[in-house]
Amino acid sequence: MNPVRRRRLLLVLVVVAAAGLATALVAMALQRNVAYLYTPSEVLKGQAGGQARFRLGGMVERGSFQRGEGSLDAHFRVTDGDAQLPVVYTGILPDLFREDQAVIATGTMRGGRFVATEVLAKHDERYMPKEVADKMGKAHVKHRVETAQ
């Protein structure tokens, strides 16, 4: 093989290897930022697996919200009708955060509690993310909850 072809072949191989490495790094970065949604019963059954970070969706259980006076630490339980999971969040909660309202919290499990880094409350009476609506609909059917159409 003459020297010009050898240099071209090496250049092509280096470009292909660099493109492959860049693709692998982008895929790893995107995978780390994906947060899957689970209900409390799915988390307690172990379906969340070893997820370092995931979203927890359900309803804030009535009578479970507590906040120390002068503190930003909020303690409450999220339920899907089958199971409850304690949640700890430090920060200012959304204005629409209330008991018996839909909530989605992003965070990690630590010592049997879900430590949230972000809490989102339902912002419109008609809107709910499709995955939450589907899971809550299954829970309503299971527990024979009447829903207004």
pLDDT digit string (tens) for the chain, length 149 residues:
788 899 999 999 999 999 999 999 988 877 766 667 888 988 888 887 666 788 898 889 999 999 988 888 999 999 988 889 999 999 999 988 888 888 999 999 888 899 999 999 865 555 566 776 777 777 767 766 665 55
Cα 148 to Cα 81: distance, rounded to the nearest angstrom: 18
3-state secondary structure of 61: coil
Beta bridge partners of 79: 59, 84
Residue 143: burial class (beta carbons within 10 Å; 0-12, 13-18, 19+): exposed
Q: Does pTM surpass 0.75? A: no
First to last CA, the chain: 75
